[in-house]
A and B are shown apart, each in its own frame.
Chain A
Amino acid sequence: MKFDNLSLDLLNTISNLTEIPDGAANIRVDGQAVVRSSSANVTITPREDGQGFILEVKPGTIGETVHVPVLITQTGLQETVANTFIIGENSDIIIIAGCGIHNPSHSDSRHDGVHEFIVKPGARLKYIEKHYGQGQGKGKRIMNPTTKINLQSGASAEMEMTQIKGVDDTVRLTTAHIEDKASLKIVERLMTDGEQAAESDVQLNIVGRGGSGQILSRSVARDKSIQVFRAALVGRVECTGHVECDSIIMDNARISSIPELVAEDSEAVLTHEAAIGKIAGEQLIKLMSLGLTEQEAIDVILDGFLR
């Protein structure tokens, strides 16, 4: 399988790949799995309807990295894909996903991805997902990811979900069910500009004793873009949870940040912080005093903030 330059650029942007990776991988381009390979410990099999896969990691698998990116370069393509990830007991694995859309036309391109994670007892998962859109046409680049996470006893997961830029519309739904002594950290970074709209709804349900959940969100809204972020932590038992939403607002953008804490047990310790503000003038002045122009200073501040 050889990728054209456009696909390779997209692939590189969303998953730092410059060639087909070794080991287990699933690369979907324009509605087709063009690369699908399993390893000794990680099997990827298609769903019966062909729209997605089931990825299974054998118990005790340590140190493998699996790539599952999606590219859309075909004008006007709209697809819904459902993938299931089953991470076996006591394994420790990295999954790198992401979606890149190139849409130069006037028709909308859209990817709706449903990812379900079942992280078995004692397993550790690091999940990295980047979304990116490009193309000069009037057609929108739309991505609607739905992520469902089930963390079983003593499991842990860190999910880094980043919208780099170029996504015109997104509705992101993330729900998690956290069992005893399991821990989940969700780091979400969002950048919108122009007239883009982004809505993110995260709900963590901590149902097991000693469970913990963290939601860290950083976003930048420029121009006339609109962002709505809802983060809910529900503690049903003795547990800890923290929500932190930090946003930089610029130009004529609009941001709503709505944290919600629900404690159903007196031993649940849940906290939240939320802040929205423009770039501080003193930050710009400081960087300009080191030789940057105002625009360079803005870029450095935003890059750092979303890193």
Chain B
Amino acid sequence: MLKLENLCMTVNGDNGQGREIIRGLNLEFEKGKIYAITGPNGGGKTSIAKLVMGIFKPNSGHIYLNDEEITNLSISDRAHRGITYAFQQPPRFKGLTIEDMIKIARPGIDQLALRGAMRDVGLCPEDYLVRDVGPGLSGGEMKRVEIAQVLARNAKVTIFDEPEAGVDLWTIQKLIGILYNKFKDNPESITIIITHNENILRICDEIMVIQNGLVQARGTREEIWHLIKDDVECKMKEQCGELLTYEI
């Protein structure tokens, strides 16, 4: 189980005053479930992911993974404990190839699994493995490479930060299939997906709506759809156009 207990985080605001972006957050994530975190921009969704990965430090509160407190562990120590995070906007590297990155993500990966990880995200290994994770890749390609690295890790806690952003519709559908097959009812993994995509919400066991650094609602999609419908449809229109709004 992953447990966040009374987490608070403050950042420096534009006026030089502290601005509280996570306010006494309490959350529990169980093994075998896929969780969605959704809610308006600036509500604190990515901050939660970065607190779990250790990229952000809380001002107070505790984080536990399987009863071990990890609040003060470094990013790499948390990675070794089995936490992994797919960045919303992954950084680019000059001179490091996609193959290098996947091998860093999963040391000792064999060629079969390496190529499989590429095919899972719709990238042909022959064309892409040797390419730099650099300026030559489009935003969508970068996102797919990021997801391939995270999938290759087989982590205990996998966090995806808006995996749908910048990825074409065909890939989103394929990605949803991969997430479903790999993580649905997987008794060993906790999966957290920050998303505004209704099709991704459909495969999640539980949805948390985060706003103003707090959980505003929590439940199954059916239970809380009335709270998030407008927001999700608005985002879907932004990303996919008018034709792709869904009736519940």
Contact = CB atoms under 8 A, between A and B. Distances in A.
The answer to whether A and B assemble together is yes
B87 A290 contact: no
B217 interface: no
A208 to B, nearest CB: 30
Contacts of B55: 285, 289
B142 to A, nearest CB: 11
B80 A288 contact: no
A304 B100 contact: yes
7 contacts: A218-B95, A285-B75, A289-B53, A290-B101, A291-B79, A305-B94, A306-B95
B93 A290 contact: no
Contacts of B96: 300-301, 304
Given A285-B75, A288-B79, A304 B94 contact: yes
Interface in A194-215: none
A291 B91 contact: no
Given A300-B104, A304-B100, A289 B95 contact: no
B21 to A, nearest CB: 18
B149 interface: yes
A294 B96 CA distance: 17
Contact of B104 (A246, A282, A285, A290): A290
Contacts of A218: 94-95
Interface in A251-307: 280, 282-283, 285-294, 300-301, 303-307
Interface of A: 218, 246, 280, 282-283, 285-294, 300-301, 303-307
B104 A301 contact: no
Contacts of B84: 289-290
B196 interface: no
B74 A304 contact: no
B90 interface: yes
A145 B235 CA distance: 59
A294 B74 CA distance: 10
A291 B75 CA distance: 8
A96 to B, nearest CB: 21
A291 B55 CA distance: 13
Interface string B93-107: 111100011001101
A305 B95 contact: yes
A294 B84 CA distance: 16
B28 to A, nearest CB: 23
B153 interface: yes
B76 interface: yes
Contacts of A288: 74-76, 79
B104 A304 contact: no
Contacts of A294: 76
B160 interface: no
B85 interface: yes
B76 A293 contact: yes
